[in-house]
Structure 1
C-alpha cells in the first residue's frame, strides 16, 4: 500500500492534531496511526462539564473547535477562571491527570466544543510506542508551567489595566467570543470595571 493510500485511512477529524504535532516534530506513518488510534473525538455541548470538581481528570484534551474554561468556585460562590482554551490549545487539570487525584477545578464548554482526548493509560502507551511524544508532551508541560508563572506574576504585580492589555494580546482570538462577565472573572475585576477599561482603550484607539 502506498503512503498516499495509507494517509487516506487517517480520519479528517484527527488532521488538526496531526498538523499540530508535525509543527513540533515530524511524524512517520506509524506515529500518525498511533495518534489516530489513541486519541478519541468527543463533542461537548455549551455549558457541559468536561471535568467536575471531585472527579479525577482522566483525559488530556486538544481543542479542535470551540472554547473551554478551567475554573474554581470558592466557598462564597465566586468563580475564579484560571484558563481559557480554544482551537489548537490544550486544556486539562494536569495535576489531577498525572497524580490520579480528585480535581479541585472544573472544566466546562463555553461553546459547543469538539475535542480530541487521550486517556492517562493511552498517553503512557503512546510514550512507550513512540518516545518522541514523551518529548512533545514535556514541552507542552513546560509551556504550561511558564504560562502559569507569567499569569501568577501578573496577578501580584500588574494593574487591572495591564492585565486587560495582556489578555488582549494572549487571547485576541477570544475577545469577541467571550461574555464580558467571563473576561472580568479571569482578570479578577468586576464587569463594570472591565467596561470602563474597554471604554478607556476605545478612546485611545
Structure 2
C-alpha cells in the first residue's frame, strides 16, 4: 500500500489518520494475465491503481478490430472513465496483460471518501484533468502525426512496456495494422 500512498502524496498531503481511512476504503486484489476486469456494455464500478503488472483498456469495433486506448503499469490508475463518471454502460474492456496486484477503489467508496476526506476530491480532479489532457493530446497526435511519430511518442511514454507487450497491441495503440507496423519497424531499424 506504500505505492498508492506515495502516488497520492505527489498531489495532496494526507495525515496518518487519513491514510488509514483511505486504505480502509480500498481493497488489494490479485489478477492473472488475460483476466478481463471490466467488460464493455457494463457500468464501471471501480477505479484501479496498479501496484504491479500491466493492464490495457480497449474497445472492439463492429469489424472485430481492437482499438487500444491506454496501457497502465505500476503507479498508474486505470478505469472506464466515461462509465465510471456517468454510471452508464461503457464501451471499454480492461484486461490484465501481466499478472497484477491492483488497489481497487469502488465508486461508492470514492464518494464516501470525498465526504470524509474532502481533499481527495482535489486528487481525483487532478487525475481526471491529466487524463483529459492526455486523451486530447492523443487525439491530436492521431490526427496530425505520422505513424512513425506516434510510435516515437509511444516509446517515450511507455518506455518500459514496449518489450513486454505484443507488437500487435502497440500497432493497435498507434492506429496501424500489425503488418504496417512490422514494415515500419523494419524501415526504422535500417535508418
TM-score tier by shorter-chain length is over 0.9
Alignment partner of 1:123 out of 90, 99, 110: 110
Alignment partner of 2:10 out of 19, 23, 44: 23
Asked if 1:160 is matched to 2:147, the reply is yes
Alignment partner of 1:61 out of 42, 48, 51: 48
Alignment partner of 1:93 out of 80, 85, 92: 80
TM-score normalised to structure 2 length: 0.96
Q: In 1, Cα distance between the equivalents of 2:159 and 2:190? A: 19
User: What displacement does 1:133 show?
Assistant: 0.6
Point out the structure with the larger strand share.
2
User: What displacement does 1:174 show?
Assistant: 0.6
SS at match of 1:111: strand
Match of 2:158 in 1: 171
Match of 2:26 in 1: 39
Where do 4+ consecutive residues of structure 1 move more than 6 Å? none
Asked if 1:180 is matched to 2:167, the reply is yes
The gaps in structure 1 that reach 5 residues or longer are 1-13
User: What displacement does 1:49 show?
Assistant: 0.8
Root-mean-square deviation over aligned CA pairs: 1.1
The gaps in structure 2 that reach 5 residues or longer are none
Q: In 2, Cα distance between the equivalents of 1:55 and 1:116? A: 20
